[in-house]
Amino acid sequence: MSPLPHCVAERTFKSTANVRWAGDDPPAPAANRVGDLAEMAVLAETGALKPGIDRRYRFAQMVEAHAYVETGRKRGSIVGSVERPS
């Protein structure tokens, strides 16, 4: 097994709003990439694939979270959390 499945290793993501593919062709439909998803699940379970979390925000801070993303300095995912009512 390669360190990362081809669906991850061959593509670079600049941002979620502007996805750029390493190759000329867009990715195959999800139904054709079930093996990639299974391989990524194994990598995540073994700890070889870890999410890059830049910052975490509570729901009440979503305005600040969006402002931070728009600065262009984001280096990983932004996590928003919603608290259960008491």
46 SS3 class:
helix
Per-residue pLDDT of the chain (86 residues; tens, 9 = 90+): 445 544 454 444 434 445 555 666 666 676 777 888 888 888 889 988 888 899 999 999 999 999 999 999 999 999 999 988 77
Number of domains forming the structure of the chain: 2
pTM of this prediction exceeds 0.85: no
Instruction: Tell me if residue 77 falls in helix, strand or coil.
Output: strand
Within this chain, do residues 3 and 43 fall inside the same structural domain, yes or no?
A: yes
Domain span including residue 76: 51-86
Strand-strand pairing, 53-58 and 77-81: parallel
Same domain, residue pair 79 and 65: yes
Whether residue 32 is found in the same domain as residue 67: no
Q: For residues 44 and 67, state if they share a domain.
A: no
Q: Are 8 and 42 contained in the same domain? A: yes
In terms of domains, do 9 and 35 share one?
Answer: yes
User: Are 40 and 10 in the same domain?
Assistant: yes
